[in-house]
A and B are shown apart, each in its own frame.
Chain A
Amino acid sequence: MPRETFQKELDRLVEDVVGLGREVESCLETMVEALQAQDVEIAKREIGVDSRFKERGTEIDEECMVLQARQAPVARDLRLIYTVQVVTNHLVRSGTLCEHICHAVAETAEADRDPDLAATLSEMARAANGLFREGLDIFEQRDIDRARDLEAADDKVDLLYSEAMNLIVNPAKEGGGSPEWRTRAALMVHYLERIADHGVDIGGRTVFLVTGERMESAMRQYRERRVESDED
């Protein structure tokens, strides 16, 4: 096939991105474990990963720039490089948020906690982690049919977000946890919601990569098709 060298460079680029994604995913799993167990030692394992992820992200960005300069990519090659840059940004940001959560867990280990809120946070962390992994899988396998389900999964995260915020704003008179912990919990809730969004966006960008269609437009068509088939 012509442009073999270029194709190899693109394949390597995708490998690099997926590799970075899997590292972030592993970091997220540790975060979920730390959050569930409120374990300082587990949380501390991931403190410091952020700078490594950022460095990797910069390297991938540079690779993309060189490929654009040297190979003048168009059509699917251009979409791939563009998608790689956007996905890399989502991965690095997710890694940063993960580290923030681990910091919060480590720093509030001794604080009084609301068990309901703690349970909601854990559930939200599992859901956000699941969405991130799903987005990354979709990107790696180009399995855009699965991208259609991402928004529904994200709705669940949004619901947990509202539930958690309600517990934070209206704490029980007894057992509502310390104000410091509730403040940290509010931040963690926000970070988790962002991680879930990054997962959804990674899947959405994959739809663009494969079809050239923006996720929003693909989702709209999907919903309309569903309405039509419901009417049948």
Chain B
Amino acid sequence: MSEVFGERSDISKDQEGQASTVPKASTLGMKIEDLSAYYGSFKAVTDVSMAIRPNKVTALIGPSGCGKSTFIRCLNRMHEVIPVAYAEGCVKLGDQDIYAKGTDPVTIRRRIGMVFQKPNPFSKSIYENVAWGARINGYKGDMDELVERSLKRAALWDEVKDKLKKSGFDLSGGQQQRLVIARTLAVEPEVILMDEPASALDPVSTQKIEDTMAELKERYTVVIVTHNMQQAARISDYTGFFYIEHMNDPGQLWEFDETDKIFSSPERKETEDYVTGRFG
């Protein structure tokens, strides 16, 4: 069995859809085959195929409007939330086709969590922000322990442990983003998708998010869309460059390789022009 299709050993079928607290023995990767994404008749992304390795950070870079965010939203079926939007092709989490008939998108979104550009905590306490997702998923374990563990993994615990009852809105932007990450972790996802998670943050908060990601990949598979190429170079193991060849064409995955390769000697001229800042 390939590295990408590792078998998850800790979730049995009857646990599907429920938050698990069992430490994971292995993490799943994803495999995307010929994925195209549409907004009505407009094709935004065409024929993307790539393997997202488990326990690695995969960064997606490219000029604005080239389909990175659309693509990442297809990875947990968030794209179809927009009316008239749909995707074609195959996206697998481990061996499971997440677009297979009868697959519950809500379950998929729990297993493949997402963090957005702007922190979006709920208007609840810090504690409840983290506990909420697990509670509605029927989590029956020690909630205090889950909240603490999730906040620790998101590198926020030390800063909030004495004010857990305060509102999530009382935190700084960088702290709010880490709170959202903790909220995502509390439902024990397999994969964490991040769509420009640090673009609205100051450099110190950005650094904390980056440090957090380095730790997250020990337990999760991480995919991040970023406009900050140095960030992609710093934190990711693999990088995918999305590009639109001609105006009004759909975006496509132009080059995908190890980050070291993309930022030292990419294969394609357009990739090199983009990462060196010669266009985009």
A residues sitting closer than 8 Å to B (CB atoms) are: 1-3, 6, 72-79, 211-213
Contacts and interface: CB of A to CB of B under 8 A. Distances in A.
Contacts of A74: 229, 233, 263-264, 275-276
A75 B266 contact: yes
Contacts of A3: 276-278
A77 B276 contact: yes
B265 interface: yes
Q: Is the interface of B mostly helix, strand, loop or mixed?
A: loop
B278 A2 contact: yes
A1 B275 contact: no
A204 to B, nearest CB: 15
A212 B264 contact: yes
A79 B264 contact: yes
Nearest to A78: B264
Nearest to A71: B277
Contact of B279 (A2, A72, A77, A213): A2
- Most chain A beta-carbon contacts within 10 A, residue among B264, B275, B276: B276
Given A75-B264, A75-B266, 12 more contacts: A2-B279, A74-B263, A74-B276, A75-B265, A75-B271, A75-B272, A75-B275, A75-B276, A77-B276, A78-B264, A211-B265, A212-B266
A73 B264 CA distance: 9
B265 A212 contact: yes
Contacts of B264: 74-75, 78-79, 212
A74 B276 CA distance: 6
A130 B271 CA distance: 37
B263 A78 contact: yes
Interface in B250-267: 262-266
Nearest to B261: A212
B278 A1 contact: yes
B276 A76 contact: yes
